[in-house]
């Protein structure tokens, strides 16, 4: 069983269902009964593999985690309630007051604010650097740096960091390489192959597919020695490579409480089974859209690393050998033109979210990045004239026709 989709569909669930159910049932319940006081004691001490309370673990959620583990070939997986729950839980598991992170300055708006505002309030410093120049990260690393934090593809400008360079820097300094891969989910990107120690992603996006459920994933590739992290060194002595996961399960996720709802785990498992099929449709669609927009009158620039004239074409081809996702962004002359274009769309929906089956369009500066100051948006490279398209799985002629009529309308 080697293929991505075969594993996604056939990874066996551990429950011996009395009805022979072919799919993991939804255990939509809060607690589980154990047979005796002794069994309860053993379960709570971790000596018995039993579920006790859904905030901690749940069979349907565990089945989803095991499927993700199977398709990614990772060491361990924890599924949580959203992408932001995955990010906050993972970061708060490896950093404490006095520590620092060195992070990309081109980040998803909520991640940027979490790192800059929430973490600084906890005494955790975040040093922002340019991911297109890995040496700027290396200069900021010191003895209290716990991780390098990146996105595999920046949103909405689709910059591609050279992950092999970052992996080399992380290894040289003994810090973890943590990468949000939401824009290039499993099937498009093998994070372990490029030296990523911890992969974080919003399962809400490509894995859900039809935008049916929120969810987030923390994926430990088992490649980092957690004994190097002062918060986890005692854990590493007891639990070895399980140190990070044990910290999440036994402390951070448990106390922050961002557990994944069992029904959402069920929906995300369904989505995982068709992830590759949908990406095989949406990514080529995105390339067609990018090629169509490239050079069109009134379109100043098109960002898609799958375009031959993209400055990121080579590194994207190396890191994402199929295609670099299904998001395209482009620049008009000004904000007014962006709004006119967006308002003229008939098929493509005006909505946030990414990797939905439907094509979606948004003006990032006035929406998902509106909580940033103008100076922060400029630093992040996002202008008022930028439009982002998340290209769906519709027939590409219909997507092109809609873009075409919107461009014609404003012309």
Partner 1 sequence: MKYKVNGEEREANGTAITVSDILTNERVQNQDMVAVQFNSEFLNKALFNSTSVKDGEEVDFVYFMGGGQGRI
Among 116, 171, 254, 281, binds partner 1 (CB under 8 A): 254
CA distances from 393 to 174, 276, 378 (A): 42, 12, 32
Q: Single out the residue of 133, 129, 79 nearest to residue 103, CA to CA.
A: 129
Nearer to partner 1 among residue 47 and residue 346 (C-beta): 47
Among 163, 236, 275, 279, binds partner 1 (CB under 8 A): 236
- Residue 239 touches partner 1, criterion: CB under 8 A: yes
Least Å distance between CB 174 and partner 1? Answer: 19
Nearer to partner 1 among residue 34 and residue 211 (C-beta): 34
Tokens 């997507």 belong to residue: 399
CB atoms < 10 A from the CB of 159, how many?
A: 19
8 A C-beta contact, residue 337 and residue 385: yes
What is 52-106 written as a DSSP string?
-BTTT--HHHHHHHHHHHHHHT-SEEEEESSHHHHHHHHHHHH--TT-EEEEESS
Sheet with 349-350, side-by-side order of all strands = 301-303, 327-331, 386-390, 360-362, 349-350
- Residue 235 touches partner 1, criterion: CB under 8 A: yes
Nearer to partner 1 among residue 49 and residue 311 (C-beta): 49
Q: Single out the residue of 196, 187, 79, 202 nearest to residue 148, CA to CA.
A: 196
Least Å distance between CB 49 and partner 1? Answer: 5
Least Å distance between CB 58 and partner 1? Answer: 9
Pairing relationship of beta strands 198-202 and 176-180 according to DSSP bridges: parallel
What is the chain's length? Answer: 411
- Residue 245 touches partner 1, criterion: CB under 8 A: yes
Least Å distance between CB 145 and partner 1? Answer: 23
Nearer to partner 1 among residue 49 and residue 321 (C-beta): 49
Among 250, 281, 322, 349, binds partner 1 (CB under 8 A): 250
Q: Which range binds partner 1 by CB under 8 A, 108-116, 128-136, 193-201, 245-253?
A: 245-253
Residues 270 to 309 in contact with partner 1, rule: CB under 8 A: none
What does DSSP assign to residue 233? H
Nearer to partner 1 among residue 77 and residue 119 (C-beta): 77
Q: What's the gap between Cα 74 and its chain centre?
A: 15
Residues 34 to 93 in contact with partner 1, rule: CB under 8 A: 40, 43-53, 56-57, 62, 76
Least Å distance between CB 248 and partner 1? Answer: 9
Least Å distance between CB 72 and partner 1? Answer: 14
3-state secondary structure of 303: strand
Among 19, 143, 238, 308, binds partner 1 (CB under 8 A): 238
User: Whole-angstrom Cα distance, residue 234 to residue 230?
Assistant: 8
Q: Which range binds partner 1 by CB under 8 A, 106-114, 247-255, 312-320, 370-378?
A: 247-255
Tokens 């011996």 belong to residue: 16
Least Å distance between CB 16 and partner 1? Answer: 13
- Residue 15 touches partner 1, criterion: CB under 8 A: no
Nearer to partner 1 among residue 51 and residue 355 (C-beta): 51
Binding residues for partner 1, how many (CB under 8 A)?
33
Nearer to partner 1 among residue 38 and residue 193 (C-beta): 38
Q: Which range binds partner 1 by CB under 8 A, 194-202, 236-244, 308-316, 374-382?
A: 236-244
Pairing relationship of beta strands 301-303 and 327-331 according to DSSP bridges: antiparallel
- Give the angle subtended at the CA of 369 by the CAs of 279 and 253, to the nearest 5°: 70
Nearer to partner 1 among residue 66 and residue 405 (C-beta): 66
8 A C-beta contact, residue 209 and residue 278: yes
Q: What are phi and psi of 4, to 5 degrees?
A: -55, -50
Least Å distance between CB 124 and partner 1? Answer: 20
Nearer to partner 1 among residue 86 and residue 279 (C-beta): 86
Sequence-ordered strand ranges (E) for 167-273? 176-180, 198-202, 216-220
- Residue 242 touches partner 1, criterion: CB under 8 A: yes
Q: Which residues bind partner 1 (CB under 8 A)?
A: 14, 40, 43-53, 56-57, 62, 76, 234-240, 242, 245-247, 249-251, 254-255
């Amino acid at each position: 069983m080697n293929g991505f989709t075969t594993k996604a569909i056939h990874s066996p669930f551990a429950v011996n269902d009395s009805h022979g159910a072919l799919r993991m049932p939804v255990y939509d319940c809060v607690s589980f009964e154990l047979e005796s006081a002794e069994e309860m004691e053993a379960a709570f001490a971790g000596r018995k593999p039993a579920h006790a309370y859904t905030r901690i673990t749940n069979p349907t959620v565990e089945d989803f985690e095991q499927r993700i583990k199977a398709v990614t070939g990772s060491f361990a997986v924890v599924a949580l309630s959203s992408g932001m729950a995955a990010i906050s839980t993972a970061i708060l598991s490896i950093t404490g007051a006095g520590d620092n992170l060195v992070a990309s300055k081109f980040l998803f708006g909520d991640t940027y604010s979490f790192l800059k505002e929430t973490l600084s309030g906890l005494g955790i410093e975040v040093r922002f650097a340019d991911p297109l120049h890995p040496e700027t990260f290396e200069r900021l690393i010191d003895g209290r740096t716990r991780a390098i934090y990146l996105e595999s593809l920046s949103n909405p400008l689709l910059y591609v960091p050279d992950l092999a360079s970052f992996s080399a820097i992380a290894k040289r300094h003994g810090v973890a390489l943590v990468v949000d891969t939401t824009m290039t989910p499993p099937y498009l990107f093998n994070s372990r192959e490029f030296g990523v120690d911890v992969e974080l992603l919003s399962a809400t996006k490509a894995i859900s597919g039809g935008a049916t459920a929120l969810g987030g994933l923390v994926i430990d590739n088992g490649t980092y020695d957690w004994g190097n992290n002062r918060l986890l060194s005692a854990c590493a002595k007891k639990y070895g490579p399980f140190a990070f996961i044990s910290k999440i399960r036994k402390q951070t996720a448990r106390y922050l409480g961002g557990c994944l709802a069992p029904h959402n785990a069920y929906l995300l498992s369904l989505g995982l089974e068709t992830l590759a099929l949908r990406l095989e449709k949406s990514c080529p669609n995105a390339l067609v859209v990018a090629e169509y927009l490239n050079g069109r009158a009134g379109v100043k620039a098109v960002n898609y690393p799958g375009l031959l004239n993209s400055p990121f074409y080579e590194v994207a081809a190396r890191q994402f050998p199929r295609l670099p996702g299904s998001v395209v962004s482009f620049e008009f002359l000004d904000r007014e033109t962006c709004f006119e274009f967006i308002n003229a769309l008939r098929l493509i929906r005006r909505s946030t979210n990414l990797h939905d089956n439907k094509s979606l369009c948004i003006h990032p500066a006035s929406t998902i990045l509106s909580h940033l100051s103008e100076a922060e948006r400029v630093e992040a490279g996002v202008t008022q004239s930028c439009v982002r398209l998340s290209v769906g799985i519709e027939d590409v002629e219909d997507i092109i026709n809609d873009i075409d009529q919107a461009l014609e309308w404003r012309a």
